[in-house]
Every structure is written in structure tokens, then in C-alpha cells.
Amino acid sequence: QQKVQQSPESLSVPEGGMASLNCTSSDRNFQYFWWYRQHSGEGPKALMSIFSDGDKKEGRFTAHLNKASLHVSLHIRDSQPSDSALYFCAASSNNYAQGLTFGLGTRVSVFP
Amino acid sequence: DAGVTQTPRHEVAEKGQTIILKCEPVSGHNDLFWYRQTKIQGLELLSYFRSKSLMEDGGAFKDRFKAEMLNSSFSTLKIQPTEPKDSAVYLCASSFGTNNYAEQFFGPGTRLTVL
């Protein structure tokens, strides 16, 4: 079973609309969360991190973390065609030997 | 500043061959990761080095996969012998810091096809 689960698997959003992505962890040791984005033919690139409960906003992107339920979400407002990509949630614990554990990703398609 | 460099970008191998993938991390980074990416399994960690010391050797991948850090600016991933199920994108990433939740910078990946 994946320790980091993402939903939905894919999402279609109209240009200018809001995209909402979800991520849940089954490992209570995970304390630190990242969102990464991968465009076709490229490696993933970090979008933002969130380590504390609550919201964190960076431009059009807002992440929300609830440590009690181990749930993280990412909201993209005013979606642009360039936001079409594969989005990964990644988590890590305090065990420095483990690195990041990634979810399977959510494919976002922004249509005109 | 140069990002993570991976070569080759594409590799085609016959079953049973030995292939070596190369990675140059971001200058000054002390952590280096090798991942395998497939649609079914997503990103799977193969190896993780911190300051050239192996921290994680990928468990299930130990048999035929071997990653090495020859120096702080160069790493290789050897697959020997290759099997068709190894067809995937192999990603290298690096990061800087004393914890394990620092931002990872990824290379563009090597797409491996094993016939």
C-alpha cells in the first residue's frame, strides 16, 4: 500500500478555474510535506513545502496541512494552460536516512 | 547555475546487457538520490547518498541495481543485467541541507527501454 495517497488521479479544469488536489498519508511519522510538479519530458520541480498546520500561500497556489488527519491539499486558483502537468505530494519524517516518499500523482489538464 | 545533469537522455538496451546511467548533481549539494519512475509505481527510491555515504540502497532493487558516488560531483547507476521490466524513466535528484526534507532538484531523467 502506498504510504502517500493522492486523489483524484486526474482532473480537468477550465482556464481561469480552481483546481483542488488531495493527499493523505498513512504514516504518522511523516511531518514534512512538499508539492512537486512535473511537465511532460522534464523532471519534477518543487512547487512549495508545508510543515505547519494551516494554510500557506504562494502566488496562485495555496497548500493546507492538517497534521492530525495527515491530510494535505493544494489549490490552484486562476488555472493557466501552463499548469497542465503531473502533481506529486511528497512526505518525509525525522529519519534522515529515508528521504522523501512520493505519491503516485494527480494529472491536471487545463482546457481553454 | 547549472541544474542536475543526466546522460544519456535516452537509452535502448537488449535484455541481459549492462547499462550505466550518469548524473552530475547541483554544485555544492550534499544529498543525491536515484529514482525510478513508472506510471504504475510512480517514483520509487533506488539509492540515497549523503555526503557520498550510502544511506538507502533501495531494498528490492539491490540485486541488479548499483549506484555509486565516485566523487561529490558525479554519480552512476549501473543496471546489470537489464530486463524488460526495467523499462522506465530514471531520475537523479540532489539537495542541500542537514535534514531529509530539503527541496530536491531533479534532472530531466533518462528514458530506458529494454527489448
Over the stretch B53-85, which tens digit does the pLDDT of each residue have?
Answer: 888 777 766 789 999 998 989 999 999 999 999
Contact between residue B23 and residue B6 where contact means Cβ atoms under 8 Å apart = yes
Q: Could you write out the DSSP letters of every residue in A62-91? A: EEEEETTTTEEEEEE-S--GGG-EEEEEEE
Query: Position of cell 517514483?
Result: B43
Q: Could you give the C-alpha distances from B13 to A27, A51, B10, B108, in angstroms and in order?
A: 38, 42, 10, 20
Over the stretch B3-57, which tens digit does the pLDDT of each residue have?
Answer: 999 999 999 999 999 999 999 999 999 999 999 999 998 999 999 998 888 887 7
At residue B99 the predicted structure's pLDDT band, cuts being 50, 70 and 90, is confident
Distance of residue B107 Cα from the nearest chain A Cα, in angstroms: 5
Q: Could you give the C-alpha distances from A9 to A34, A88, B77, B96, in angstroms and in order?
A: 18, 11, 30, 31
Closest CA to B104 of B89, B92, B90: B92
Interface check for B59 against chain A (CB to CB < 8 A): the answer is: no
Distance of residue A47 Cα from the nearest chain B Cα, in angstroms: 9
β-bridge mates for residue A21, sequence order? A74
pLDDT of residue A43: 97
Cis bond leading into B8, ω under 30°?
yes
Over the stretch A24-45, which tens digit does the pLDDT of each residue have?
Answer: 998 898 989 999 999 999 999 9
Q: Of A51, A92, A103, which is closest to B100 when you measure between CB atoms?
A: A92
